[in-house]
Structure 1
């Protein structure tokens, strides 16, 4: 399941990042978004996803949310 299907307020573990775009993969890594990391969906507004990773909150778009596989 990807972050697109996540429920607001629930904690998930990132299983992997599914993308062939190395720049996108590196960007997500700099946010702390990598396999084994905990992620929480804070809100969904008009195709924008606010997520909490570690101690930070980030706004990501649908393409980024679709690349994050969670369990």
Structure 2
């Protein structure tokens, strides 16, 4: 029974309810000028994961949304500012 719980807890198979929880904890729901800790990057696109990694967006890093202009997010991570689109912001879990 314990193994089933661990498998269910860490399984990446998404259902509608699990997908909703990912959506509620991504960068698009962050408040401006408030630091958050990145808990992961959730996307099936490996190129997107690699790009976010080059910006310093990976688990454990601190990230702050500076401003939101239309569908672009100005973020501060690892001492630098970047502009990312909403799709990238959705992939960053906080």
The reply to whether TM is greater than 0.5 is yes
CA RMSD of aligned residues (A): 0.4
Q: Runs of 4 or more off by more than 2 Å in structure 1?
A: none
Question: Where does the alignment leave 5 or more consecutive residues of structure 2 unmatched?
Answer: 1-24
Residue in structure 1 matching 2:75, options 32, 47, 51: 51
Q: Which has the larger strand fraction? A: 1
TM-score, normalization: structure 1? Answer: 0.97
TM-score, normalization: structure 2? Answer: 0.74
Question: Where does the alignment leave 5 or more consecutive residues of structure 1 unmatched?
Answer: none
Between structure 1 and structure 2, the one with the greater Rg is 2
Tell which has more relative contact order, 1 or 2 (C-alpha 8 A, sep 6+): 1
Q: Which has the larger helix fraction? A: 2
> How many residue pairs get matched?
70
